[in-house]
Amino acid sequence: MGVRATQRLKRRLVTALELPKDVALGLPVTTMMGNEEVFVSNHKGLLEYGAGHIRLATAVGKIKIFGSNMILKEITAESVSIKGRVEKIIWEA
């Protein structure tokens, strides 16, 4: 069985059993608090960091967060908390 077929089967199983996809499939969860803070769980690493943007790897693509005065409030193996003035978030598949 190929990688894609295995992934499709896993997704179907998760859906059929009504399991949370973020936990079962390692999908990222992004939460914003206004335009002042972003919390991302299930990231796979920090790719770029600057005062104007932060780029994170995830299991299914990359997340790029643009803004001003961006700082990493907290970063762990599972999650990252970003503070600053968030202007836009771009998903890179």
Rounded to whole angstroms, the Cα distance separating 42 from 57 reads: 9
Structural domain including 55 reads: 27-92
Q: Is residue 41 part of a domain?
A: yes
Q: Is residue 62 part of a domain?
A: yes
Q: Is residue 6 part of a domain?
A: no
Q: Is residue 2 part of a domain?
A: no
The total number of structural domains in the chain stands at 1
CATH of the domain at 43: 2.60.40.2000
Q: Is residue 5 part of a domain?
A: no
Return per-residue pLDDT of the chain as tens, 93 residues. Answer: 687 787 788 778 778 877 777 666 678 999 999 999 999 999 999 999 998 999 999 988 999 999 999 999 999 999 999 999 999 999 998
Q: What is the pLDDT of residue 24?
A: 65
Please, which residues have CB within 8 angstroms of residue 84's CB and are 6 or more apart in sequence? 36, 51, 67, 68, 69, 70, 71
